[in-house]
Amino acid sequence: MMCRRIHELLSAYIDGELSAEETFKIQAHLDRCGCCCTELESLRQTKRLLGELARQRPRAELEYLLVIEARRAQNRPPSPFDGLRRLADTPIRPRTALATAALSLAALWAATSQLGGPAEEPVGRTIVGQVPIYNEFGTLVGSYQFIAAATPAPRVRLPEPPPRTFMTEPGQPGLLTASWSSKPRPYQTRQISSGPYSPQSVRLDQRFLVSAE
Amino acid sequence: MTETTTLGRLAEQALARPKREFDKLVVRHHKQAYNIAYRLTGNHADAEDLTQEAFVRAFRFFDNYRRELPFENWLFRIMSNLFIDETRRRAKLRTQSIDAPLPGTETTLDLRDERAGPESTVLCGELDDQLQTALRQLPPDFQLAVILADVEGLSYDEIARAMGCSLGTVRSRLHRGRKLLRAKLTGFRQNG
């Protein structure tokens, strides 16, 4: 075999992904070719370096956020591109490829025909924590409900008149974003910008204090 | 009344079953998925976005997942598609200097530095940085093949399923990817 052809097979040789016959031929060639041996060692070194890269660990709360965000996303209205995405993420069997493609195109047509309709983003479907709100007389007047979400800018809304302080209860970690509700009728709200909330994640199992502007 | 309640409970349990199954899969696979995402994107913020988007899509199409196949292969397939789509989309975007004012205004972007701090940079080492830089410079298909094979240790068969291509294509992408990576690393050493 020519060296050029051998070179192309060396990566698969290193990985043990060649047939017995190919492996035998390469070994026989390597026994008498210094150039290919050098190439082999160089590729091995590259592979070894990659294998030694430090494992990158996610932050602790990511596991929880993935579950919550998946639930939340399921409550969104279906996207017109879902048919195509489903097709892209599914291994295609040749026998059914044509039928699948035709069905997906039909699904895409059906979905895009609804493009003009309302597509509001539902919020507050997945609640990971509740914060009771008390007035200055200690009476429970409502609660904030926090959802975990990936939206970048968290907002915290307070009822009018805003309570002087409120504290979170121990709960699950998550990102604080907008969404609270109260019964029997929604409060008038205004946004605060002060407080310990930041666009980064906050653990709800800490007790902290928030004051209105 | 009792019968209705029991039926309701059974229905709830039946609906909750796939969710519980998915939760377990998240626990089992999210760290590996995150590591792949980090090596693909090169930073923690994008890695988290990519991981999250992959799991969200997996959950959305969970009824599509064929249980006889390993979940991670299917998840990596989703992640591969997302990554390649995103890379192509970004390639079409115009770039904007983060230090320059936005076009037509005097406003500048106020961006947080999402990278790891200086301590961890030192700990990770120069070689790690060079490898990551070189990986990011590979064409996305090559980058994926190299990461799945050499960082995660997947077999060619698993990579073919994850990337939706033939074994021959995996072999070719991996070999060309490694050669390109080696050339870039050699270039770093000569220049630096």
Contact B127 A89 (CB under 8 A): no
| Residue A72 parent element (H or E) | helix A62-74
Contact B131 A12 (CB under 8 A): no
Which one has a higher pLDDT value, A126 or A15?
A15
Q: Is the pLDDT of residue A79 over 60?
A: no
pLDDT digits (tens, 9 = 90+) for A4-59: 899 999 999 999 999 999 999 999 999 999 999 999 999 999 999 999 999 999 88
Which one has a higher pLDDT value, A74 or A119?
A74
Which one has a higher pLDDT value, B8 or A203?
B8
**pLDDT at residue number B62:** 86
Shortest distance, CA B155 to any CA of chain A (angstroms): 8
Residue B130 sits at the chain A interface (C-beta within 8 Å): no
**pLDDT at residue number A34:** 92
Between CA B78 and CA B154, with CA B163 as vertex, the angle to 5 degrees is 100
Q: Could you tell me how many helices (H) and strands (E) chain B has, helices first?
A: 8, 0
List the one residue out of A180, A183, A177, A189 whose CA is nearest residue A145. A180
Shortest distance, CA A163 to any CA of chain B (angstroms): 32
Q: Which pLDDT band holds residue A89 (cuts at 50, 70, 90)?
A: low
Q: Is the pLDDT of residue A157 over 50?
A: no
Q: What is the ipTM of this complex?
A: 0.73
B5: its two tokens: 């309640």
Query: Would the pTM count as exceeding 0.90?
Result: no
Which one has a higher pLDDT value, A143 or B185?
B185
Which one has a higher pLDDT value, A17 or A201?
A17
**Residue B19 with chain A: CB contacts under 8 Å:** 71
**pLDDT at residue number B128:** 85
**Residue B161 with chain A: CB contacts under 8 Å:** 91
Q: What is the mean pLDDT of chain A?
A: 57
**Residue B35 with chain A: CB contacts under 8 Å:** 55-57
The rounded average pLDDT for each run of 10 residues, N- to C-terminus, in chain B (192 residues) is 55 63 90 94 89 90 84 91 84 51 52 43 66 92 95 93 92 95 85 68
**Residue A56 with chain B: CB contacts under 8 Å:** 34-35, 38-39, 44, 47
Strand A166-167 with A157-159, pairing: unpaired
